[in-house]
Amino acid sequence: MFFNIDHKAVAALLHGQGCANILKTVLDNREISSVSTEPLINTILNSFSVALSFVNSPNPQPDHQSFSQNMAGLVPRRSSKKKICGIKGLGNYRDDFQTPRPDGFTWRKYGEKTIKTSTHQRSYYRCAYAKDRNCNATKRLQMIQDSPPVYRTTYLGQHTCKAFTVQADTYGPEMIQFDQVVSESVTPQLATIDQQAIVIEDKATDHTTNQECHISDFLVDYDELWLNEIPPFSSGDLSFDNNIVAFN
C-alpha cells in the first residue's frame, strides 16, 4: 500500500500535532507527572523535519517496503558467513526467521557475548555513524525466548546523528504513550534518550511488542502508520489524534 508524498507529509504533521497535544497535557499535569518533556519536544521537531523532507524532496521518499527491508544493523547482509552456523539458537537467517523490527537507524555490530544469565548470546550494536557524526547511541539485542522468539532490545545513549537518518530513509514517530501499553508495534525512534535505557521486547512472530520503559514511552514507528492507511487528510479530521493515547 502506498501513500503519496502529500499524505505522508500530512501524516507527519498530524503526528507532530498529536505530540504537541500530549506535551500540553503533560505540562498541564506537571506537578503530578515525572515524564520528561524533552523527548516529546524532539519528536515534534522531528515530525516537522520529516514533513518538510517529504514536501521538499524532488525525489519520492523510499517506500515503506524498502524501508522495512533496510535492516543492515539487525540482519546480516550475508547468509553464508561463518558466524551463521555459530549463532546458538538462531539457525539460518534466511529461513524466514523472524527478526526484530527495524528501528530506523543504521547499526553496526561490534560485539557479541554469551551472558551468564541467558542461554542466548547478546549482540552489541552502535550507530553506524558513531565516528563520522560522533554519535554515541548503542543498543543491545538479545533473544530471551525461543518459541515464540522474543527479543529484548536495550537502547542506550543519544542519537546525535538523527537529523541525517531522518532525511535519508526513516520516518518519524507515530505514537506516544504514557503509563499504558496499547501500541502493537513500537520501536524507539528519533527520540532523545539521554542517559536513559529503553528496553523493548519484540515478539517476532506476531509483531507484538511489550515495553519495559521506565519513563515516558516516546516510542514510535511509522511502519504502522503506512500500513494502517491513514485516510486522506481533510479539515477537522482528527482520526490520527484518536490514535494518540490520552495521558492520564
Under the rule (CB under 7 A), what is the footprint of DNA?
72-73, 76-78, 80-84, 86-87, 108-113, 115-117, 122-124, 126, 128, 138, 140
Amino acid code (one letter) for 184: E
CA distance 150 to 221: 19
The C-alpha cell at 240 is 490520527
CA distance 127 to 190: 13
Residue 194 Cβ, how far from DNA at the closest point, in Å?
A: 16
* Residue among 111 and 232 whose Cβ is closer to DNA: 111
166's CB contacts (< 8 A; 6+ apart) are 46, 49, 50, 53, 172, 190
Residue 133 Cβ, how far from DNA at the closest point, in Å?
A: 13
* Residue among 15 and 101 whose Cβ is closer to DNA: 101
Residue 33 Cβ, how far from DNA at the closest point, in Å?
A: 29
The C-alpha cell at 130 is 558513531
The C-alpha cell at 39 is 523527548
* Residue among 20 and 156 whose Cβ is closer to DNA: 156
Residue 156 Cβ, how far from DNA at the closest point, in Å?
A: 7
Residue 108 Cβ, how far from DNA at the closest point, in Å?
A: 4
Q: Report whether 107 contacts 96 (CB < 8 A).
A: no
Rounded to whole angstroms, what are the CA distances from 102 to 85, 86, 187, 233?
Answer: 23, 23, 8, 27
* Residue among 142 and 183 whose Cβ is closer to DNA: 142
* 3-class DSSP assignment, residue 205: coil
* Residue among 5 and 199 whose Cβ is closer to DNA: 199
* Residue among 2 and 97 whose Cβ is closer to DNA: 97
Residues in the chain: 248
Residue 127 Cβ, how far from DNA at the closest point, in Å?
A: 11
Cis geometry, peptide bond prior to residue 148 (ω within 30 degrees of 0):
yes
Q: In 10 A of CB 98, how many CB atoms?
A: 14
Looking from the CA of 4 toward its CB, the CA atoms found within 13 Å total 3
Residue 204 Cβ, how far from DNA at the closest point, in Å?
A: 17
